[in-house]
Structure formats: C-alpha cells, structure tokens
Amino acid sequence: MKVNAGLMAIILSILFNINNSYSQYTHYEGQTQATISGSKTDIGFLGGIGAQYYTTDFISLQFNLGYEWGRPHQAYYKAYNLDFGMTYTPVELGRSFYLNLKALGSVATQKITDNVLISASTFNYGGKIGGGLEYYLDDRTALEFSGLQGFYAKKTLGQKQYEVGLTIKININ
C-alpha cells in the first residue's frame, strides 16, 4: 500500500499541533478519567467503558467493563469481562505524549456456540500485561494506543490472547 507523503505530513502536523497542549497539565494526583475503548483481539473485537484514577502523577488505578464477540473457527463467541489494575507512566515522551505500562487482573464469563447448537461456557480469570502510547489532544481529552497480552487460567479458546486497541480518555474533574 502506497502512502502519499504530503497527506501523511498534513495528518501528522494536525495531530502534533492540536491546541498545543502541554504534558505537565495532563496527569495529576486525584485526576479521574472516563474511558471508552475498542480493541482487536485474536478472537474478534472487544469494546468497553471504564474509569481511571491517578493516585500520584504517574500511577493510576483503573477498571474496565467489556464485551467481546467474534466468530473463531466457524463458531459464535461472546464474553463479558471486568479488567482492573494499575498503569504506571515511567516517562514523558515529549509534548503531551506518555508511555504507559499496564498490569491488570481480569475475570470473564465466556460462551462459544457452533453451528449445530453445541455450546460451552466458562468462568475465566487471569491477568494482562502490556503498554500504551498516550497522546493528549487538549488538557481534557487523550487517545491511547495500547497492546496487551492476556494470560488466563481457563479460557474457552486457549489460555493466551492479545489485544491491540484505542482508548479515548476524558478528564471528568
């Protein structure tokens, strides 16, 4: 796929210059954010809503309620999950950019049904680790591109799963 260099330059200049926000105003102790996320997983898609609370300028607690769906191996898959844990921001990567490291616990109820109505349901628990690159569009709104690897004790379709996605974060205080 060929990318037009001029179009890419315009998109990048818009992204890096929206409201010229400064990172020193974006993470602070006591800050609360509402989150909306969407991810591609190895099974299908995962959507969620949640919240994030900063206990310090660089450590936050978070939770996310999610719904995952897909059609692996000609079957129907759906899961409801709760992820909870913390994010650590070890470094600011420049104006309005942060590198985030994540460690989350995860619980879920999952169901898979094939075309002949044979189904299997499981309760699942485990954890996820990964990271993300967060960019503040202004002092109240951020986008985070993230990748997580999940490790589970029991899962309908294996014990590992990746997620790659985008989260919109909105400061509510």
Q: Are 144 and 166 in contact (CB under 8 A)?
A: yes
Cα(95)–Cα(83) distance, rounded to whole angstroms?
29
Q: Are 162 and 150 in contact (CB under 8 A)?
A: yes
What token pair was written down for 60? 């936050």
* Buried residues in 51-71 as b, exposed as e (16+ CB within 10 A): bbebeeebebebbbebebebe
Cα(27)–Cα(8) distance, rounded to whole angstroms?
29
Cα(172)–Cα(170) distance, rounded to whole angstroms?
6
pLDDT score of 164: 96
Task: Return phi, psi of residue 96, to 5°.
Answer: 70, 10
Residues of the chain under the 70 pLDDT cut:
1-3, 6, 8-25, 115-118, 155-157
pLDDT tens track for 26-48? 788 899 999 999 999 988 999 99
The β-bridge relationship of strands 141-152 and 44-54 is unpaired
Q: Which residues have C-beta within 8 Å of that of residue 14, sequence separation ≥ 6?
A: none
pLDDT score of 19: 46
pTM: 0.79
